[in-house]
């Protein structure tokens, strides 16, 4: 976890947070799911992110999840904990709690709803990075937060010794390449459709939601590229594209589709928490069909 080029590994899964049917945190399910993800190709896990339903889990649940997953996967797997909120003080508190619970890094999203200007965005990230010993992965997802981390802001933040990585959901491929060219920040594709494209221009890897269901298929794309077989990498990326579209671009949050699919294949998931609603039967059946086509190959 000290490799500056890949500080958190290569193939990370944005792991769902399993709940019991009654809606409580399912720690045993989380342990089983995390162990499976690692066994099938993930060398890092992001916990308590958007896919992990962080807006509706308590601070105590977040810490308990980190501890349970650390127990399941051991010390050789990077655990990055989502700690970002719209409140700098609360974000610092969550970063400190994540460090104590056993996380290796902190995923810090741009403060949302208040739409701070870039000066305030930069100050927020610096304050969080200064507060704990955890290396920080910035999370740039303006479609959810309403605010970009502008490339020039990212370049300045790259000078902070504990700001080492970016989860990129900016949909600004040019801006991303500008930062890659001018810093040593480790970029991770946060959009599954960009896994290969971003890797090809120097990213460290990905933080994949689709990997909840097909970790091996996501890892295989990067394996092929690392082996120099770019044609095979392209083939594998395109092979998972229908599932990416169904999970990430069908009008439902990835949390909802991931949990529907995991439940359908008998893996720990449980319900989503309100205000999210579960996927309908037709959606769940479609996801299962696509998953079956992938795993039958």
Q: Would you name the residues annotated as active-site residues?
A: 139, 167
Cα–Cα distance, 164 to 156 (Å, whole number): 12
Neighbours of 97 (CB within 10 A): 18
Question: How far is residue 241's CA from residue 294's CA, in Å, rounded to a whole number?
Answer: 10
CA dist., res. 107 & res. 54, Å (int): 12
The DSSP call for residue 55 is G
Whether the Cβ atoms of residue 248 and residue 207 lie closer than 8 Å to each other: no
116 preceded by a cis bond (ω within 30 of 0)? no
Neighbours of 111 (CB within 10 A): 21
32 in Cβ contact with 49 (< 8 Å): no
- Give yes or no for a contact between 206 and 27, defined as CB atoms under 8 angstroms apart: no
CA distance 249 to 253: 8
DSSP labels, 60-116 = HHHHHHHHHHHHHH-TTSEEEEE---S-HHHHHHHHHHHHHHT-SEEEEEPP-SS--
Return the H-helix or E-strand segment holding 238. helix 230-248
């Amino acid at each position: 976890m000290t490799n500056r080029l890949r500080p958190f590994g290569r193939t990370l899964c944005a792991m769902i947070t399993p709940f019991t049917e009654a809606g409580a945190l399912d720690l045993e399910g989380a342990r089983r799911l995390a162990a499976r993800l690692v066994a099938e190709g993930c060398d890092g896990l992001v916990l308590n992110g958007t896919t992990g339903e962080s807006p509706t889990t308590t601070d105590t649940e977040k810490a308990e999840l980190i501890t349970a997953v650390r127990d399941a996967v051991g010390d050789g797997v990077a655990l990055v904990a989502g700690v970002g909120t719209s409140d700098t003080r609360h974000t610092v508190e969550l970063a400190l709690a994540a460090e104590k619970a056993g996380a290796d890094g902190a995923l810090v999203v741009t403060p949302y709803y208040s739409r701070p200007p870039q000066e305030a965005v930069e100050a927020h990230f610096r304050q969080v990075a200064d507060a704990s010993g955890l290396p920080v992965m910035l999370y740039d997802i303006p479609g959810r937060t309403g605010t970009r981390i502008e490339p020039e802001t990212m370049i300045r933040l790259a000078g902070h010794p504990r700001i080492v990585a970016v989860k990129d959901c900016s949909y600004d491929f040019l801006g991303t390449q500008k930062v890659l060219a001018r810093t040593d920040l480790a970029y991770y594709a946060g959009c599954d459709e960009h896994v290969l494209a971003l890797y090809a221009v120097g990213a460290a890897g990905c933080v994949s939601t689709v990997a909840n269901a097909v970790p091996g298929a996501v890892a295989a794309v990067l394996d092929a590229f690392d082996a120099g077989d770019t044609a095979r990498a392209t083939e594998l990326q395109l092979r998972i594209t229908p599932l990416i579209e169904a999970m990430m671009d069908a009008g439902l949050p990835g949390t909802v589709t991931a949990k529907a699919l995991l439940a359908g294949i008998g893996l720990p998931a449980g319900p989503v928490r309100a205000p999210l609603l579960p996927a309908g039967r037709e959606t769940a059946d479609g996801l299962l069909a696509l998953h079956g086509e992938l795993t039958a190959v």
